[in-house]
Structure 1
Amino acid sequence: MTMTLQFLGAAEEVTGSCHLLTLNDKQVLLDCGLIQGSKADAMRNYQAFSFDPSQIDAVILSHAHIDHSGRIPQLVKSGFTGPIYTHKASAELCAIMLKDAAMLQQRDTERLNKKRLKKGLEPLQALFDEQDVEQTVQQFIPLNYGESVQVLPQLSLQLSDAGHILGSAIVELWINEIGTRKKIVFSGDLGREGMPILDDPEIIHEADLVLMESTYGNRLHRSWQQTIDELEQIFAAAISGSQGNILLPAFSVGRAQELLYLFHLYAKQWDLSRWRICLDSPMAIEATKVYINNYPVMDDDFKRFTQQHPGEHPLLSGVEFIQSTEQSMELNEINQGLIIIAGSGMCNGGRIRCHLEHNLWRPECDVIICGYQAISTPGRMLVDGADYLTIRGKPVKVAAKLHTVGGLSAHADQAELIHWYQQFKHSPPLVLVHGEQQVQQDLLAAIKASLSQPAAMLAAKQGDKLNLSALPELVWL
């Protein structure tokens, strides 16, 4: 039996998750994500897939974030007609997020083609449209955690809670050969222990191969209590000045809901009654509704509060939902007293760009960066100390107080990644994905130093193909 696994995305980078599993004449994709980052990175999405989409038998999706799900409609448009297995909450979130992505694709492609035509270049087609998304949604097979399903005669699947965002999953795969059985565990994006709303990532003990994300593989997050104290200090300082606004660029799924919950929990402690809290993101608003409807898969504290206070939902108290563009623009006429949560989380699109244009140059304002910032994104430029940010083609001075709150990350840090891997028996072969090159090398060194016995491990490179028949050895084809 021919068994290979090829790494086609999120290899030495944190974007575009995509891995191709081949079992004889059958092919299954683990994730099919959009490549995000710089304009040059985004252009890579227009390249043809390195495989024939019509020959893919199934897709297994770890979670709804666009860097894991965003090219599935493009896959469908290109001929993929098979099932898409994912958690039921991820399927609900994808219906929202992929529709939004389609609208952005249309808009961005129109803008890009105006520039291309001026240069005498051929126009590009949008990667996909809303009709492609509608077809994609019909192909979803929603699953519950712990539910076993037969993907192929020789391949079975089970999802376990990854604790990253609602519906995020650790993918457990069993491959049945003649007389043997191999198990592959793909971490997806791993969350953290003790974070609000979600349960902790599940511990898995058995595997013949582990694919593990490594986003924060070379750093340690602040503790949860230190993070709460840090936020309290930021709000206290802002209140004492009381002359500006606070902007929080946030991912519409996961981070936005986490912030709403924190504002509910600490409203009195942080003296938030003085502030007008606005969630300025139609997609985040829709995603929040999905969170509310799926409270049974949340952690015990969140479930308990939801059940005991039916008229006071923790994601709805004390916040204004800003839906229309006109309402969003009106916020920019207000110079102080606003806390604005808006996408995109890396400041490379969405309504946060407009709010930064009106507030970033004001030293009395605050910007709280509370999520991963990919290389070359405006958010990364802010974190790296840029003096100016280009918005709508014009430079905007960075004078607002900038705070990077790493403790809010939904990704496990180095210690948490090592701990999760150490729970596997017999130190199975490990391949790192979804991490920047140097970060992965630092994590590999730290893992090796933590083990009492040697283990085969490395970071996957773009296009690498692993011979699964050779396990436990890592043999590349």
Structure 2
Amino acid sequence: MSFIQSFGAAETVTGSCHFLQLDNGPNILIDCGYFQGENEEQTYAPFDFDPNDVDIVLLTHGHLDHVGRVPKLVKEGFDGRLIALRATMDLAEVILKDSAKIAEEDYKTAMKKARRVGGEKQIPPPIYTSDDVKAVFDLIIQYANYNRAIKLTPDVTVTFRNAGHILGSATLQIDINEDGHKKTLVFSGDLGSRRDLIMTPPDTVTTADALYIESTYGDRDHSPLDETITEFKDIIINTLNNRGNVLIPSFAVERTQEVLLLLKEMYYDKELPPCKVYLDSPMAIRATQIYNHYHAELNDTAQHILLRDGAIFEFPYLQYSLKNKDSMRINKQEEGCIIIAGSGMCTGGRILHHFKHRLWDERNSVIFVGFQVQGSLGRQLIDGAESIQIFNETINVNAQIHTLNGFSAHADQTDLLAWMSEFEQLGKVYLIHGEAEKQAVFKGVIQEQLDKPVHIVKYGEKVYV
């Protein structure tokens, strides 16, 4: 029998990686992502399967926790077909190049320290290099289009449906004919909210004998978007009027673009006090350019702004900080700035330097606009840490810490249930991509409201389909 094994995003949010082995082939890997937060060490562990055995890789979207280990997969033997939307690969290229750069820089730093004590042999090589990332794009890449079936073999097709999560995000519908028996497997990917500021709502899928669905927010609903926007504006206005600065740790893809859109609207509505808005992330700057390029895939609001202004995100207060020296100059400005920088979970990147310079000042505010995985520095801050360690220095947390989950690019419980209820035929439901305690809540809600059998997927277990 055919079966699926999940070697990531099983009772945890990150590391998405699902291996579908079909009786008559091919062997299909759905995503191959980084583990983040408390599970980060699993990123560097050997794969639980032989990369040479993978025939096809399907990517649901370009976030690091879904594509971050693809260069490692190629480095260790995969040389088959890679299928994704073109926008996904454009974003993935930006994200993977940044990931390789960080890995290479961390290796150089570790080696420099190790040489002082003769410990060079103790330092493992980087997980992959920039050349390994290039090798990914030397593969046979087949670009998908939404709602057009791609034949993988005479008996297996895959159709990419719009997941509404980020640019190029997809739900995968895999139709299989095994010895005259037809079945449909659906992998939701990360589903977007129906109230997203930029993306269109997720497409409806009608049939699934087995549904693998994300459950990041399966235990609760987000705050109402209009309330979240009001709170966001109030924090910005009050902080700037109090001669403070606003720090926004933000993911380069989707969340940054939403924040820019809101600040632009505040500017044109004359709600934004005079200030400088710094987008201090080369990766986010490039991602914003990609969003501009694929503007036709964005929602009506974005189309209206583009038609009105000739640009979706740019406005007079906005400055791009591309180089390190541009970023360092920001620290000379004592007040009146909004700094948007990565990484989104504060596990690295330029946001750490801004924390070092500004987190101790009670006039300043930090706005978290994205999910903070367990074990990340961002999670420590939203959980109330009074001090944190940055660059081997203790920094007191005196700035005001705000968490706004209404901006989430993930569907909440109501969104997930509404999307599932649109299936005309739905068999068993398998929960992935969520923390275990939240999945337990979501399982009970699905059983109660949709009356469907539900299973929480364990790491590495064989699920026969």
Partner residue of 2:136? 136
Partner residue of 1:258? 258
Judge conservation of contact 2:209–2:426 (CA < 8 Å) in 1: no
Partner residue of 2:62? 64
1:215-253, Cα deviation, whole Å (9 max, x unpaired):
111121111111111112212321331x21100000001
Partner residue of 1:153? 154
1:426 Cα deviation after fit: 4.2
Residue type of the alignment partner of 1:262: L
Residue type of the alignment partner of 1:282: P
SS at match of 2:208: coil
Judge conservation of contact 2:446–2:454 (CA < 8 Å) in 1: no
SS at match of 2:7: strand
Judge conservation of contact 1:235–1:270 (CA < 8 Å) in 2: no
Classify 1:160/1:113 alpha carbon distance in 2 versus 1 (closer, same or farther; 3 Å). Answer: same
Rounded Cα–Cα distance in structure 1 between residues aligned with 2:110 and 2:219:
36
Judge conservation of contact 2:240–2:273 (CA < 8 Å) in 1: no
Partner residue of 2:223? 222
Report percent identity of matched pairs. 37
1:332 Cα deviation after fit: 0.9
Partner residue of 1:462? 459
Rounded Cα–Cα distance in structure 2 between residues aligned with 1:180 and 1:129:
44
Partner residue of 2:72? 74
Partner residue of 1:107? 105
Partner residue of 1:196? 197
Partner residue of 2:331? 332
Partner residue of 1:83? 81
1:102-147, Cα deviation, whole Å (9 max, x unpaired):
1111122334456677595633121111111112023232222112
Rounded Cα–Cα distance in structure 1 between residues aligned with 2:157 and 2:56:
12
Residue type of the alignment partner of 2:279: L
- Stretch deviating more after TM superposition (11-20 or 258-267): 258-267
Partner residue of 1:52? 50
Give the TM-score normalised by structure 2: 0.96
Structure 2: gaps spanning 5 or more residues: none
Rounded Cα–Cα distance in structure 2 between residues aligned with 1:438 and 1:259:
30
1:155-185, Cα deviation, whole Å (9 max, x unpaired):
2111111111111111111111111211111
Judge conservation of contact 2:71–2:128 (CA < 8 Å) in 1: yes
Residue type of the alignment partner of 2:212: L
- Stretch deviating more after TM superposition (225-234 or 376-385): 225-234
SS at match of 1:429: strand
- Number of residue-to-residue matches in the alignment: 460
Classify 1:116/1:211 alpha carbon distance in 2 versus 1 (closer, same or farther; 3 Å). Answer: farther
Rounded Cα–Cα distance in structure 1 between residues aligned with 2:58 and 2:307:
33
1:68 Cα deviation after fit: 0.3
Rounded Cα–Cα distance in structure 2 between residues aligned with 1:378 and 1:307:
40
Residue type of the alignment partner of 1:87: L
Give the TM-score normalised by structure 1: 0.93
Partner residue of 2:406? 407
Judge conservation of contact 2:206–2:425 (CA < 8 Å) in 1: no
SS at match of 2:401: strand
Partner residue of 1:9? 8
Residue type of the alignment partner of 1:247: L
Partner residue of 1:471? none
Rounded Cα–Cα distance in structure 1 between residues aligned with 2:377 and 2:263:
26
Residue type of the alignment partner of 1:284: A
Rounded Cα–Cα distance in structure 1 between residues aligned with 2:452 and 2:42:
34
Partner residue of 2:207? 206
Once the two structures are superposed, the pairs formed by residues 243-282 of structure 1 within 5 Å of their partners are: 243-269=243-269, 271-282=271-282
Q: Does 1:28 align with 2:31?
A: no
- Stretch deviating more after TM superposition (46-55 or 264-273): 264-273
Rounded Cα–Cα distance in structure 2 between residues aligned with 1:122 and 1:305:
54
Partner residue of 1:373? 372
1:314 Cα deviation after fit: 2.2
Classify 1:426/1:367 alpha carbon distance in 2 versus 1 (closer, same or farther; 3 Å). Answer: same
Residue type of the alignment partner of 1:359: R
Rounded Cα–Cα distance in structure 2 between residues aligned with 1:288 and 1:72:
23
1:455 Cα deviation after fit: 2.0
Structure 1: gaps spanning 5 or more residues: 469-477
Rounded Cα–Cα distance in structure 1 between residues aligned with 2:262 and 2:82:
33
Rounded Cα–Cα distance in structure 2 between residues aligned with 1:116 and 1:57:
40
Partner residue of 2:173? 172
- Stretch deviating more after TM superposition (105-114 or 130-139): 105-114
Rounded Cα–Cα distance in structure 2 between residues aligned with 1:232 and 1:264:
12
1:4 Cα deviation after fit: 0.7
Q: Does 1:298 align with 2:295?
A: no
1:427 Cα deviation after fit: 3.8
Classify 1:115/1:459 alpha carbon distance in 2 versus 1 (closer, same or farther; 3 Å). Answer: farther
Partner residue of 1:474? none
SS at match of 2:157: strand
Rounded Cα–Cα distance in structure 2 between residues aligned with 1:114 and 1:5:
43
Rounded Cα–Cα distance in structure 2 between residues aligned with 1:94 and 1:86:
10
Rounded Cα–Cα distance in structure 1 between residues aligned with 2:274 and 2:241:
11
SS at match of 2:439: helix
1:26 Cα deviation after fit: 3.0
